[in-house]
Structure formats: structure tokens, C-alpha cells
Amino acid sequence: MLHLIWAGVVWLIVLTLIPIQRIKQLWLIGVISFVWLFIVNFIFIQLGYFKFYNAFLPIGGVPLFHLIGGAGGGILLMNWMQRNNLYKIVLIFFFSGLLSLSALVHIYYGAMVHSASFTHLE
């Protein structure tokens, strides 16, 4: 359920804030984000660092809607990207923080569990 809410909220933000023409320009980023998020999650799940629970349609342990939400997140990230390299660092830190916060909510509602050695620093 939580993964559905995650995907719903992220895509609602995308469709509310970004004009359709802009989304059409950035659709490829949605695809890359989906694939990359799957690879990273799959590797960390297989290595036993974390696990998703209450997943609807999991692929290799990764909930499908988690990836769908991530695709929307990738579009939001690149939508506000600028040439300035310091701005890039701030934006990456900000989105990393949002992902950690989202993981915290997932853990809070029992949709995700970290292994003992894996912390929010990683």
C-alpha cells in the first residue's frame, strides 16, 4: 500500500508541477531512473542490506511501484537541474535527503527493513 502511495504522490507532483511538453522532453529520464533504481535496489537486496515488505508486484524483491515512483522522482530531479556544478551538488544532496526521509517513512510503516550494518548514512 505504501509503495502505491509513494508512486501516486511522486507522479501527482510531476503532473501538477511540470507541463506535459516538458514531461515529453524528459520521458527518457523516467526510463533510466526506473532501470537504475531497480539495479541499485536489486543489488542491495541481494546482498542483504535491506528488504521491502508488503510489496505489490515485487520484481526480484523490488516493488514495482517503488520503481514507478522513482521514475517520477528522476524527472523531478532533472527538471530542476542547472549547469552550475555547485547547484548540482546541492540538488543531489537534497534529493538524497528526500530518499532517506522516504526510506524512514517506509521503515516506520513496516514496508522496509534495514540490516543491522546498513544505516541511513549509506
Partner 1 sequence: MVTIVWASVLWILVFILLPLERIKILWPVAVVSFIWMFALNYTFIQLGYYQFTKYILVVGGVPVLVPIGGAAGGILLINWIQRSAWFKIVLVLVFSGILNLATTVFMWFDAFKMLHGFNHFLHFVVNVAGISILVWLSLALVDNEKIYNDKDKTRFIR
Place of cell 517520477: 72
**Which member of 47, 59, 105, 113 binds partner 1 (CB under 8 A)?**
47
Q: How far apart are the first and last CA of the chain?
A: 25
- Which string of x and - marks every residue 56-85 that binds partner 1 (by CB under 8 A)? ----------------------------xx
Stretch that binds partner 1, among 4-12, 59-67, 68-76, 114-122 (CB under 8 A): 114-122
Task: Copy the grid coordinates of residue 56.
Answer: 505489490
Closest approach of partner 1 to the CB of residue 78, in Å: 12
